[in-house]
């Protein structure tokens, strides 16, 4: 019962975090349309990629990095939420205890908890 309840809480947190990331990404994209537009490859009339000069390539790389940095910042802000950290710690403790109850030694259980780290959607 507890594991299902914790699973539901983690799922809800993921949905909320994803919603925040999507909303923030949309806002960031709207604020930096010129940067996002710089990433789109140049296509010639024949449909082939047109050659790109070094300055254009640098501008596109800077724009891409700017967007990447902003998305990373938003993800870290979500992950820094104290409530999320508390739930992740609770998950790790419950997982560790369940592994020991299943017959793993404390050392083996700790190695598995460390290997899993923060649960991710795959």
CB atoms within 10 A of CB 74: 19
- The predicted structure's pLDDT at residue 30: 56
Each residue of 29-45: pLDDT tens digit?
Answer: 555 555 545 445 555 56
Q: Please spell the DSSP secondary structure of 46-83, one letter per residue.
A: TSSBPP--HHHHHHHHHHHHHHHHHHHHHHHHHHT-HH
d(CA 27, CA 51): 31
Q: What are phi and psi of 2, to 5 degrees?
A: -65, -45
| Per-residue pLDDT band at 21 (split at 50, 70, 90) | low
What is residue 41's DSSP assignment?
Answer: P
Each residue of 62-89: pLDDT tens digit?
Answer: 888 888 888 888 888 887 888 888 888 9
- The predicted structure's pLDDT at residue 117: 85
For residue 56, give Cα distances in angstroms to 12, 18, 28, 36, 109.
Answer: 42, 33, 22, 13, 52
pTM: 0.43
Domain residue spans of the chain: 1-80, 82-122
Q: Which residues contact 21 (CB under 8 A, 6 or more apart)?
A: 71, 74, 75, 78
């Amino acid at each position: 019962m507890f594991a299902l309840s914790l699973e539901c809480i983690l799922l809800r947190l993921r949905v909320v975090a994803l919603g925040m990331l999507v909303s923030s990404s949309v806002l960031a994209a709207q604020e930096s349309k010129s940067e996002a537009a710089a990433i789109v490859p140049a296509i010639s009339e024949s449909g082939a990629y047109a050659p790109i000069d070094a300055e254009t390539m640098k501008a596109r790389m800077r724009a891409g990095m700017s967007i990447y940095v902003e998305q990373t910042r938003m993800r870290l802000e979500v992950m820094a939420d104290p409530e999320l950290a508390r739930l992740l710690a609770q998950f790790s403790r419950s997982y560790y205890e369940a592994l020991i109850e299943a017959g793993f030694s404390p050392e083996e259980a700790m190695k598995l908890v460390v290997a899993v780290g923060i649960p991710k959607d795959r």
